[in-house]
């Protein structure tokens, strides 16, 4: 894929302008990733491999027992009572968290690697949009895991359930396959600027553009994404093929 110079220049200007608001994602160590699902002749289309520019990609697979390691943070008062990415009202006293790519309602055991303190949370939001961080905990979860006092802590994540319920490893519903991803190409404090940039970059290389509102330091930030990537690998390759230094991806 080759980016149009004018579009890349525009994207870089926006990303540099938004440098203090967004950062390149450092991919954490993980036992998950783009695995090749077991495909049969009756498998749904969302499970089948697909090709782009001659390269074969496999739909994302998240299974019970998958792990990640990285830094956990927490968010609370500035966002309490506002809508999360899945449309719920955020309650900082509930056992929930934000994650970039786990499916909504995934149950995750979070363990503090320094102290061993742990808690299980339900993913109902997207984030954290900070380099090196793998999960944003609610205030209540942060207290249990030992993140609240210091603000951040090294943690290990383990997928223990889906659909808001814990699930045993090996159960029929112990894996989720599929899902679409988005790549951020800009971030704005000004909504009208974000809307204009969204329109200008719609259908770039066939990917629709979308604008999403998030909260940063108690104020709105408008992030512009290209959507419709069917796997993390496809999204990563799209980022790597251009010069979007501050781009990252999230699950829709």
Instruction: Please measure the distance between the N-terminal and C-terminal CA atoms of the chain and give it in whole angstroms.
Output: 23
Residue 197 lies in a domain: yes
Tell me the per-residue pLDDT of 203-229, one tens digit each, with 9 for 90 and over: 988 999 999 998 787 788 999 999 999
Residue 47 lies in a domain: no
Residue 243 lies in a domain: yes
* Residue ending a domain, choose from 176, 197, 232: 176
160: phi then psi, degrees, rounded to nearest 5: -120, 0
- 183 and 123, same domain (yes or no): no
Residue 227 lies in a domain: yes
The dihedral of CA 167, 35, 206, 185: what is its sign? positive
Name residues whose C-beta falls within 8 Å of residue 160's C-beta, 6 or more positions apart in sequence.
64, 107, 108, 109, 120, 166, 167
The strand pairing partners of 143, in sequence order, are: none
Give the chain's radius of gyration (CA, Å). Answer: 18
- 72 and 160, same domain (yes or no): yes
Quickly state the pLDDT bin for 1 (edges 50, 70, 90): very low
- 117 and 130, same domain (yes or no): yes
Residue 69 lies in a domain: yes
* Residue ending a domain, choose from 176, 206, 230: 176
Ranking 23-27, 82-86, 116-120, 189-193 by mean pLDDT, the lowest is: 23-27
CATH of the domain at 107: 2.40.40.10
Average pLDDT, whole number, for the chain?
83
Average pLDDT over residues 32-36: 43
Residue 185 lies in a domain: yes
Residue 35 lies in a domain: no
Residue 18 pLDDT greater than 70, yes or no = no
Contact 250, 203 (CB under 8 A): no
Quickly state the pLDDT bin for 247 (edges 50, 70, 90): confident
Provide the pLDDT for residue 211: 96
- 165 and 78, same domain (yes or no): yes
- 164 and 183, same domain (yes or no): no
Residue 158 pLDDT greater than 90, yes or no = yes
- 23 and 128, same domain (yes or no): no
d(C-alpha 140, C-alpha 136), whole Å: 12
Provide the pLDDT for residue 26: 29
Provide the pLDDT for residue 10: 42
* Residue ending a domain, choose from 176, 197, 227: 176
Q: Which residue has the higher pLDDT, 197 or 4?
A: 197
64: phi then psi, degrees, rounded to nearest 5: -55, 130
Provide the pLDDT for residue 220: 87
**Residue corresponding to tokens 């009572």:** 81
Angle of helix 191-200 relative to helix 5-17, nearest 10 degrees, comes to: 160
Tell me the per-residue pLDDT of 39-51, one tens digit each, with 9 for 90 and over: 444 444 556 899 9
d(C-alpha 3, C-alpha 185), whole Å: 12
Q: How many helices (H) and strands (E) does the chain have?
A: 4, 16
Domain residues for 228?
A: 5-27+179-251
Tell me the per-residue pLDDT of 55-81, one tens digit each, with 9 for 90 and over: 999 988 999 999 999 999 999 888 889
- 156 and 213, same domain (yes or no): no
Ranking 4-13, 167-176, 237-246 by mean pLDDT, the lowest is: 4-13
- 172 and 65, same domain (yes or no): yes
- 160 and 207, same domain (yes or no): no
d(C-alpha 146, C-alpha 110), whole Å: 11
CATH of the domain at 187: 3.30.70.1070
d(C-alpha 216, C-alpha 238), whole Å: 26
- 116 and 168, same domain (yes or no): yes
Residue 241 lies in a domain: yes
Tell me the per-residue pLDDT of 84-104, one tens digit each, with 9 for 90 and over: 999 999 999 999 999 999 999
- 166 and 184, same domain (yes or no): no
Beta-strand pair 118-125/96-98:
parallel
**Residue corresponding to tokens 């979308």:** 210
- 106 and 209, same domain (yes or no): no
Domain count, the chain: 2
């Amino acid at each position: 894929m080759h980016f149009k110079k004018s579009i890349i220049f525009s994207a870089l200007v926006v990303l540099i302008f938004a440098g203090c608001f967004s950062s390149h994602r450092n991919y954490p160590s993980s036992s998950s990733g783009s695995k090749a699902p077991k495909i049969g002749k009756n498998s749904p289309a969302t499970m089948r491999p697909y090709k782009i520019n001659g390269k074969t990609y496999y739909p994302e697979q998240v299974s019970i027992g998958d792990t990640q390691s990285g830094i956990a943070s927490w968010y609370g008062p500035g966002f309490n009572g506002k809508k999360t990415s899945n449309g719920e009202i955020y309650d900082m006293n509930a056992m929930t968290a934000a994650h970039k790519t786990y499916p909504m309602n995934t149950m995750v055991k979070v363990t503090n690697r320094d102290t061993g303190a742990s808690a299980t949370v339900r993913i109902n939001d997207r984030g954290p949009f900070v380099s090196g961080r793998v999960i944003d905990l609610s205030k209540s979860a942060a207290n249990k895991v030992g993140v609240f006092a210091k603000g951040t802590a090294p943690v290990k994540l383990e997928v223990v359930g889906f659909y808001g319920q814990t699930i045993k490893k090996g159960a029929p519903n112990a894996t989720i396959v599929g899902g679409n991803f988005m790549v951020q190409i800009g971030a704005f404090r000004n909504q009208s600027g974000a809307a204009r940039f969204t329109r200008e970059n719609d259908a770039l290389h066939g990917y629709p553009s979308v604008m999403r509102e998030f909260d940063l330091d108690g104020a709105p930030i408008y992030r512009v994404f290209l959507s419709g990537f069917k796997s993390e690998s496809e999204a990563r390759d799209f980022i790597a093929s251009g010069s979007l230094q501050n781009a990252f991806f999230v699950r829709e």
